[in-house]
Structure 1
Amino acid sequence: MAQDELTQEEGKKKGGLLKWIIIAVVLIALGVGGWFGYKMFFAAPPEDAAATQDAGGDAGKPAESLEGQLVPLPTFLVNLADPLGRRYLKLGVEVEVRDEEAQAALAKYEAKIKDTLLLLLSSKSYDGLSTMQAKVELKQEIADRLNQIIGNGGVLRVYITEMVIQ
């Protein structure tokens, strides 16, 4: 009987110590997670990083941070490449260009741009345009095609202003 009491006391001591170790590990994990969340989402960027961005000017900025002028393109209405050819796409697009030179190039090469975008859009199918990822890829394809035509990376972004698939 004395032996049973002795083993029960050892079991309680081990269980109590294990409980405190688990609590300590959980508290440390919460603290590290809170610190990481604060640094990533709430803390201001370091001063030296902000200074290097300001000193760089426009030449050091990526295309996403540059601001340009919005130029509307004509609305495109094409048959989609679906079986039986009964679906069509109506697409309104505005293009953000880098400067006046790129804007002039869009006007100069309007026929090439219409031809290129009509061929691109008519090669798409309903399934190829129905997801959000497909729409983002379409915007990137349009930007790439326009940059090939006007050159010099003049197109910064493409915005879809109207999209109807029927």
Structure 2
Amino acid sequence: MAEDLDSKQEQQPKKKKGLLKWIILAVLLLALGGGGFFAYKKFFAKAPDEAAKTEEQAAGEQAKEGAHGKEAKPGAGSQTVSLPVFLVNLADPLGRRYLKLSMDVEVKDEAAKAEVAKNEAKIKDALLLLLSSKTYQELSTLDAKIQLKQDIVQRLNLILGNGKVIQVYFTEMVIQ
């Protein structure tokens, strides 16, 4: 009988220890899951909303600009021209960062497309000077990239004639 009592007492602590381990494991998993959910909501769930707001603001700005001097509207008989890849060192103090940029340019018509091909050397020169004058901080935000697109449109319109370039589309952008 004494042996029966001893065996029962030994079995109870083992069951409690095993149950306690499972409870601790479940609490840890719930805590990690809750932390992961919080991190997702904080860092990833808001990003599409902010991007949509910024795109809407950019579209509103472009619509305002179109009303003040752009002769052609995007898509109305316009042509797209691919420019070569630009690889430039950025104007950072240490000179260790570079920008690789590919872009397509939407022009007013076929004549403007031919004008781009005719003035390709001038366009490359102007864009290389513009891009190499930028720093990493000047290109790191979405607003800065939109501003760069507007600067490129202005430079190209200076070379080709006002209103021939409608929009610039970045097809590849790497900043390292």
- The answer to whether TM tops 0.5 is yes
Residue in 2 that maps onto 1:109: 119
Residue in 2 that maps onto 1:84: 94
* 2:161 is the alignment partner of 1:161: no
Query: Normalised by the size of structure 1, how large is the TM-score?
Result: 0.61
Alpha-carbon distance between aligned partners in 2 of 1:66 and 1:156, rounded to the nearest angstrom: 11
Matched residue SS, 2:81: strand
Residue in 1 that maps onto 2:19: none
Aligned partner of 1:68: which letter? S
Q: Percent identity?
A: 64
Alpha-carbon distance between aligned partners in 2 of 1:141 and 1:89, rounded to the nearest angstrom: 16
Matched residue SS, 1:63: coil
Alpha-carbon distance between aligned partners in 2 of 1:125 and 1:145, rounded to the nearest angstrom: 18
Query: Contact 2:106 / 2:165 at 8 angstroms: preserved in 1?
Result: yes
CA shift digits 1:51-100 (9 cap, x unpaired): xxxxxxxxx97635635111100000000000110000000010001101
Alpha-carbon distance between aligned partners in 1 of 2:122 and 2:103, rounded to the nearest angstrom: 16
Check 1:67–1:131 CA distance in 2 against 1; reply closer, same or farther (3 A cut): farther
Gaps of 5+ in 2: 1-69
Q: Which stretches of structure 1, 4 residues or more, deviate above 6 A after TM superposition? A: none
Query: Normalised by the size of structure 2, how large is the TM-score?
Result: 0.58
Q: How do 1:1-166 and structure 2 match up within 5 A?
A: 63-64=73-74, 66-166=76-176
Moved more, 80-89 or 149-158: 149-158
Aligned partner of 1:134: which letter? A
Q: RMSD between aligned alpha carbons? A: 1.7
